[in-house]
Structure 1
Amino acid sequence: MNLRGIVAVSGRPGLFKLVGQNKVGYILESLDAQKVKIVANITNTKLASLEDITVYGEDEEIKLVDIFTKISAKGTTPDVKADTATLRTYFNEVAPGHDEEKVYASDMKKIITWYSLIKDLPLFKEDTPDTPGTAAEIKLSEEKAAEDKKQKNTGSKAASAKATTKTSAPAKKASMTSKKGV
């Protein structure tokens, strides 16, 4: 299954295909029948590549691709409007070992909705290519890696900054008077 270039955009329903990039942002095309093209601003829009999304697990994180594969093998999905117990039972079958405290009903609904959107697309049946992808896809994955690294380092930097802060004696006040002849 080839999910490369398929992204979820924060604040927008549905899924989008990453078409390209310009100086303002990423050019995205919706995967629905309307094929609406939008430009997602780089500075205030968050994109999440489906290829990189994982679900909390009890032992280790579960890749979304693996969940989609199991849903495809199962063949049926429950109604997105089903009650939480039904969704949880189904999700235990397709994502065994997921963390039930961290994976909410809204997350399960979103995954089932995403599966419904992409199951009929030709790329769903393709194998993931070994090539890195388009320039925009590479930049998106690099930005995600940099953001993850920044988030991991933020806690340790704050602690080390506190440890290395020195206390010094107050600086002497500079004299603001000037000598003028009277």
Structure 2
Amino acid sequence: MPVSPIDPAVATATIDAALPLRTERLVLRRFTTDDLDAFRAYQSDPDTVRYLWRPILTPEQMGARMSETPALAKDGDAYGIAIEHDGTLVGETVVKLTDAAGRQAEIGWILAPEHRGRGYAAEAGRAALELAWAIGAHRVTAVLDHENQSSARIAERLGMRREAVMVDDGVNGFTGEYGSTEIWAVLERER
């Protein structure tokens, strides 16, 4: 049977309609300008950014991220979602459209250091995975820094399997050194 692609406009509307999304302890919602200080704090933390493979964002870039309207218009676009606990921004999760024609998406998560170790990333990751299924994904991946074994354990808890370790597959934009990535994935029929 031929594969029907994910319609980016429908995917964006699906996520828009789902937010705010409440989990057992968290609220997943759109970012607001009120989030800027907390966002800047964790996005400037060296122990966080080293796993993101990019330099620390400038204040202007961080402000732009807060004011942009998320949309999945084309392959490579990501829909950033704020993670809130008890009225406090604790991090973010993302649903990224990687291949609309092949019905492929990627999820990811970032938590502020003071909110790690409480299961929030797994809880938000599970919600992001459900959003990926809701937009029609057939396959969902998580691409992780090979040294970030905390995120690898989360991916495993989400039912993903490690499919590959890409050795020295790029230069980490934060450290300036070669780094390796892990590809984790799950198919819709495996959920």
Give me the TM-score of the superposition, normalised by structure 1: 0.21
**Larger strand fraction of residues:** 2
